[in-house]
Amino acid sequence: MLELLSIGRLSLKFGEPRLRLNIVALSIGLAAVGLALPNPSSAGPSSSSSSSSRGPAGQYSAALGLYKAANYAQALSAFEAIARKSPTDDTAHYYIALCCQGLHQNSRAALEYRYVASASRNPQLRQMAQKGYDSLTRLQSAAVAQAAPSSPTSASSSSAVSLGAGAASPTTVVRGSRVKKVIEFYTTWCHVCSEFADTFERTKAKYSGRIQFEQLNAEEPENSELKAKYNVKAYPTLIYLDASGAVLRRGEGAPMGPNFGNIIESL
C-alpha cells in the first residue's frame, strides 16, 4: 500500500537573493508569520482511496522509492512518465509537485499543487495539495518581505531581480535589453505548460520586435539536440539568450503573469 508523503522534509529556495531554509528554521519562520506546513501524519490517502488511475504498481513503487530516498530528479522523471501515460492521475501530479519543491522548482510545484487542489476528486488529496500550495505562496511572500530593501539605494538595486516587482526602473529596462531570445521547451502532456501558454503569448506580444520567442516541443526528435545542449530535464524550461546566443538564465517552471516579464527585465 502506497502512502503519500508530506512536504515537511523539503528545503525551500525563493527568488533572488535565494533563501535556503531547513525544516527547523522553516518551522520557526512559519510560527513567526502565523503559517503552518501540512501535517506529515495526514500526508495522504492510501492507494486504494485514490480516485485516479494508478498505473502499474511496480512503476509507482519504484518512483516512490526514489522520492523517499530524496532522489528528487529521478523521482520527478518517474512520476512524469506515469503522468504522461495517465495525464489525469492526480496522485502522480501531487508527487510531481513534491519533487519540484525538493528541486527548488517552486513555480512549477505551485502550479502542480493548484492543479491537484482543483481537479482531484479525492477530498483528502485536494486538501493536502491546497496546503502545499498555500505554504509555498505564503512562505514566498514572507521571504520577499524579509528580503525587502531598507533604503532607497538598495531598493533601486534590488528591483532588477525581484520577481514580484511592479514596473521596472529605468536601470532595469536597460539591463532587460540584454535578452534577445527566449526559448520554451514544453510537452503536450504537461498541463503546467498549457497554463503558461497565455502568459507566454502576452509577453511575446509585449516585446514584439525586440525579443524573439520560440516554443519547442521537447519530445520532437528534431529538438533533441537543443534539448541536450540546454540540459532540459523538466517542463516547461525557459532559456534566456543574449544577442550572441549566450545563456543569461535557465529556468524550470512557469513564471506566471507579470513575473515572466520581470525576469526578462532583470537580466
CB 78 within 8 Å of CB 63: yes
- pLDDT value, residue 257: 87
Question: Which CATH number among 3.40.50.300, 3.10.20.440, 1.25.40.10, 2.40.40.20 corresponds to the domain 23-146?
Answer: 1.25.40.10
CB 195 within 8 Å of CB 254: yes
Which residue type occupies 159?
A: S
* Domain ranges, ordered by start, for the chain: 23-146, 152-266
pLDDT tens digit string along 180-212?
999 999 998 888 898 899 999 999 999 999 999
- pLDDT value, residue 222: 95
C-alpha 193/C-alpha 75 separation (Å) is 20
Superfamily designation of domain 152-266: Glutaredoxin (3.40.30.10)
- Retrieve residue 175's grid coordinates: 539591463
* Within this chain, domains 23-146 and 152-266 share the same CATH topology: no
C-alpha 99/C-alpha 82 separation (Å) is 14
- pLDDT value, residue 23: 38
Instruction: Report the range of poorest mean pLDDT among 7-21, 84-98, 109-123, 202-216.
Output: 7-21
Question: 10 vs 38, 66, 104, 106, 208, CA distance in Å?
Answer: 12, 14, 9, 11, 40
Residue 40 pLDDT greater than 50, yes or no: no
- pLDDT value, residue 212: 96
Q: What is the pTM of this model?
A: 0.52
Q: Is 54 exposed, middle or buried (0-12, 13-18, 19+ CB in 10 A)?
A: middle
pLDDT tens digit string along 63-98?
999 999 999 889 999 998 998 888 889 999 999 999
